[in-house]
Amino acid sequence: MSGCIHLQGERVMNEVVKTTDEALDVDIPNLDVGPYLRAEAGALERLAAQWRQVCEEVGFFSIQNHGIDPDLIERAFAASRRFHSLPLERKMEIPLDSNNVGYMPVNASMQRHSQVEKARKPNYNASFFCKLDRGPDDPAVKAGLPFMGMNQWPRDLPGFREDVMAYQNAVRALGQKMLPVVARSLDLPQDFFAPYFDPPQIAHRLLHYPIRNEAEPEQFGTGAHTDSGFLTFLMQHGVSGLQIRRRDGTWFDVPVLPGRFVINTGDMLRRWSNDRFLSTPHRVLNVSAVERYSIALFFDPNLDQLIECLPSCQGPDNPPKYPPITYREYFTNFVNANYFHRQK
C-alpha cells in the first residue's frame, strides 16, 4: 500500500506525511484533532483534508487530543474487567437478546457476513453489548422497534452502568463532533450529516479476549471482517492483537497507543461514498500470554434514514454503484449472518 501515511514519532503534523509499507508495520496514521476541537481558525478544513487522505488510502487511523478524560477511560476498562470476571452463570442472566444487547460468551459469533476470508471457527471473545440507554417510556421501546430496546444490566454490580454510560456518552459526543469533519472531507456542507445522526445508532461493546490456545492456529479473537457501519471508535488497553490487512493481502499489527482512539471507516460509509472511502479488513489475534480487553463503540446513522449515494461522490462518469438502503436493513443482514442467537 505504497503512499500510505503515518505519524513520524510523536510529532504533531500540520499536514499528512507520505510513507511506505514498511512504516505501517510500526504505526498507523495519526491525526491531531485538538486544534479543530478548540475551534482554531482553519482547523476544520486542515483536518478534513487529512481525514480525506487517510480514509481514501488506509481506512484506519488514530486520533490524539480528543478531549476525553483518561480517568473516564480507565474507569470504563475497570468496569469491563469487573463484569467479565463474574461467574459465567451470573453473566448468562442477561444473554444477548434480539436487540443485540446483553452478554455474549466465547464461541457464540462467527464472521459469516465477511467477504474477506471464509470463517472456519467461531470468534474467541466474550462481549457485553449495550446501546443508547432508553427507558420504558421511550417511544422506540414502546413501539418495539428492533435494535432500539432497553439495555440489560448485570445485577449487584454497583457503578457498572454509570461508568459504562459515562464512557459511551463521551465517545458519542466525540462522534457527533467529527461529523462536520467527515462532511467537509467529502466536499459536503459541514452540517450535512446532522439529520442522519439525530439520534445516532450506537453499538457499545466491552470485549474480553481470553488467552488463546496456541494449538489452534485459526482461533482468532475476531475473524477477518469489515465493520458494518459509519465510524468505529476503538480503545485498546495494554495488550496488542488488532491486525489490519494491506491491499496486497498481507497483515500488520496495530500497536497499542495509550489514550488514543483507533478509528476506522465501515461498510456503510464506503457504500454512502460510492467506494471513495475504504472499509478496511481487520481481525484480532491475541498472541500474548495474558487476557486482552478492548472497548469498541460503533457510531452509525439512525436506523431508519435512507442511505443513498452522496451527491459529491457521483457524476456522469461515476454513477452510484449501490441502490438506496436503510441502515436498519443492512445492519439486520449483518447481525443475522454473524451472531448465533439470531438463528434461533
Residue that has been written with the C-alpha cell 446483553 in this structure:
102
pTM for the structure as a whole: 0.90
Match domain 69-343 to its CATH number in 3.40.630.30, 2.60.120.330, 1.10.540.10, 3.40.50.720. Answer: 2.60.120.330
For the chain, 344 residues long, give each residue's pLDDT as a single digit of tens. Answer: 333 333 322 222 233 323 233 333 345 899 999 999 999 999 999 999 999 999 999 999 999 999 999 999 999 999 999 999 999 999 999 999 999 999 999 988 876 666 666 667 888 999 999 999 999 999 999 999 999 999 999 999 999 999 999 999 999 999 999 999 999 999 999 999 999 999 999 999 999 999 887 756 677 899 899 999 999 999 999 899 999 998 888 999 998 989 999 999 999 999 999 999 999 999 999 888 899 999 999 999 999 999 999 999 999 999 999 999 999 998 898 888 776 676 65
Quote the pLDDT of residue 220. 87
Give the pLDDT of residue 20.
31
How do the domains of the chain map onto residue ranges? 69-343
Q: Is 244 helix (H, G, I), strand (E, B) or coil?
A: strand
175, 231 Cβ separation under 8 angstroms: yes
- Nearest CA-CA partner of 94 in 48, 160, 169, 187: 160
- CB atoms under 10 Å from CB of 146, counted, come to 14
Q: Which residue has the cell 421511550?
A: 138
Query: What is the predicted pLDDT for the residue at 114?
Result: 62
- Single out the residue of 181, 186, 237 nearest to residue 208, CA to CA: 237
pLDDT at residue 108, rounded to an integer: 86
Query: What pLDDT is stored for residue 257 in this prediction?
Result: 87
Backbone angles phi, psi at 207, to 5 degrees: -100, 140
Q: Please state, as a whole number, how many other Cβ atoms lie within 10 Å of the Cβ of residue 89.
A: 7
User: What residues are paired with 31 via a beta bridge?
Assistant: 63
Give the orientation angle of helix 160-185 with respect to helix 70-84, to 10 degrees: 130
The whole-angstrom separation of Cα 66 and Cα 32 is: 8
- Give the chain's end-to-end CA distance (angstroms, integer): 42
Q: Is 126:97 a contact under the CB 8 Å cutoff?
A: no
Unique residue bearing C-alpha cell 488488532: 242
- pLDDT value, residue 18: 31
Which pLDDT score is estimated for 14? 31
Q: Which has the closest alpha carbon to 293: 181, 208, 227, 173?
A: 208
Report phi then psi at 167, rounded to 5: -65, -50
| Contact residues for 207 (Cβ-Cβ < 8 A; gap 6+) | 80, 125, 126, 127, 292, 293, 294, 295, 296
Using CB atoms within 10 A of its CB, is residue 41 exposed (0-12), middle (13-18) or buried (19+)?
exposed
Counting Cα atoms < 13 Å in the Cβ hemisphere of 278 gives 23
pLDDT tens digit sequence for 158-173: 999 999 999 999 999 9
H or E stretch covering 30: strand 30-32
C-alpha cell at 319: 454513477
